[in-house]
């Protein structure tokens, strides 16, 4: 059974940091493009960051470049999202996603598997 389980969300003050984890089971992560999407209240789901399976290249949305870092530990079948210098506008539910199509990094419709989501709230 394919499963993605996120952890690491929570409440943090502006300027703080969080690290999200996504543990995969039922399939091997390095055979898939793996990414993080987020959805704020009243907004659509947007691609935040992705690591592509072919060359391991990464993608970041302009809004998080220089602040977020995605990484993958194939031995643990886990992907991470290190989030630094957090802003109130980063508040959202963050979802881990996996897919075979490279374009899934920016297109939620192309995602094959989703995690259940973890809440990130940035507030003073």
Q: What is the pLDDT of residue 46?
A: 94
pLDDT at 39: 97
Distance between CA atoms of residues 124 and 122, nearest Å: 7
Low-confidence ranges of the chain (pLDDT < 50): none
Looking at residue 28, what is its pLDDT? 86
């Amino acid at each position: 059974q394919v499963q993605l389980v996120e952890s690491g969300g929570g409440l943090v003050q502006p300027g703080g940091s969080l690290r999200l984890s996504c543990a995969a089971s039922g399939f091997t992560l390095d055979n898939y493009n793996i990414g993080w999407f987020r959805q704020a209240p009243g907004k659509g789901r947007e691609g935040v960051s992705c690591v592509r399976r072919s060359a391991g290249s990464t993608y970041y949305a302009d809004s998080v470049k220089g602040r977020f870092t995605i990484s993958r530990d194939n031995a643990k079948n886990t992907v991470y999202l290190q989030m630094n210098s957090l802003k109130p506008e980063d508040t959202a539910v963050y979802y881990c996603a996996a897919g075979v199509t490279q374009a899934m990094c920016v297109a939620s419709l192309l995602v094959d598997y989703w995690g259940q989501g973890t809440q990130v709230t940035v507030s003073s």
